[in-house]
Amino acid sequence: MPDPSKVLTTIQRATELFRKTPGRVGGLVNLSESADEVLVVGDLHGNLPAFRQVLLTADLTKNPTRHIVFQELVHGNKHYPDEKGDKSHQLVDVVAALKCQYPDRVHLILGNHELSELTGRPIAKAGVALNALFRLGIGSAYGDSAEAIYQAYRTLFASLPLAVRTANRVFLCHTIPDPLDLETFDPSIFHLDHWPSSAMARHGAVYAITWGRNTDPENVDRFSQLVDADWFITGHQPCEEGFRQANHRQIIIDGTEPYPAYCLFSTRETQSIESLMKCVRVFSPVG
């Protein structure tokens, strides 16, 4: 395992850099005109093989005007032997290191699983408590340093933006608020550097933009007006084939197995839902 002190330093440095990302105002990153392309990947949930393919595809060194947008790193299905916890913290570590390497061009938007670590709200799948497995995995990896590193993760999660917006009116967020939450959704949340606990509670604005599942066209039209955007690329919902067009404005992509997907699109060209769909790809199986 990596040296815990070095991991802690990397996480803390990445946290500072997420706060200082160029174009960031409060919880929204507005990509500058120097950004020519964006590669946005679906929920990874500890999927390190897909992360490696993201790096190869993005090839940031050879493409200096390309950005990556990640989402949903934690709570995966890869575990340490002998029931010693979830390995998804490893993905947080490597994304933090990537942020340190490319501070202006690597972005991580808040997802509901990271929010659950911030608020202490348990998430379970198939009767398994994912938060507890996440903590157990950190303990298995980092021993006496586990608590310090876990608290550093929580501070990093609190530093994340809620959305990334491109100059050609594409809005990248984890999901679209449900109709009930949209009735009271306060877009000023995007201007805040720190979120009040009420915004992270059920029906609060931060909760709404990380937990919603409604894809009705009328609902996304209302949200489009609130945030002044035309097109949405989101995650949060599993997709059998890796991605799907949810409505006339929204594409959902999934970064988990067996078909992790991404969308690599130009921020210079005028986009449509049809042109964005043509930019979606599924990574080749790792075998």
Question: What is the spatial distance between Cα 66 and Cα 263, in angstroms, rounded to a whole number?
Answer: 12
On the question of pLDDT at 287 being above 60, the answer is: no
Cα–Cα–Cα angle for 187, 192, 196, nearest 5°? 95
Name all domains of the chain by residue range, CATH numbers in brackets: 4-282 (3.60.21.10)
Residue with tokens 């997802």: 111
Residue with tokens 């990302």: 21
Question: What per-residue confidence (pLDDT) applies to 128?
Answer: 82
On the question of pLDDT at 261 being above 50, the answer is: yes
**Burial state string for 129-145 with b = 16 or more CB within 10 A and e = fewer than 16:** ebbebbbbbbbbbbeeb
On the question of pLDDT at 277 being above 50, the answer is: yes
Task: Identify whether the C-beta of residue 56 lies closer than 8 Å to the C-beta of residue 66.
Answer: no
On the question of pLDDT at 211 being above 70, the answer is: yes
Residues 148-173 have a mean pLDDT of 98
Residues 262-267 have a mean pLDDT of 97
| Backbone dihedral angles phi then psi of residue 70, each to the nearest 5 degrees | -100, 160
Residues 176-194 have a mean pLDDT of 95
Give the pLDDT band (50/70/90) at residue 280: very high
Residues 58-72 have a mean pLDDT of 97
Question: What per-residue confidence (pLDDT) applies to 229?
Answer: 98
Residues 173-177 have a mean pLDDT of 98
Residues 185-214 have a mean pLDDT of 96
Question: What per-residue confidence (pLDDT) applies to 286?
Answer: 53
What is the bridge-based pairing of β-strands 106-109 and 66-71?
parallel
Question: What is the spatial distance between Cα 260 and Cα 228, in angstroms, rounded to a whole number?
Answer: 29
Residue 106 Cα distances to 41, 71, 102, 103, 160, angstroms? 12, 11, 6, 6, 12
Question: What is the spatial distance between Cα 131 and Cα 121, in angstroms, rounded to a whole number?
Answer: 9
pLDDT digits over 23-55, tens only? 999 999 999 878 999 999 999 999 999 999 999
Residues 195-216 have a mean pLDDT of 97
Residue with tokens 């999934």: 254
Residues 213-220 have a mean pLDDT of 98
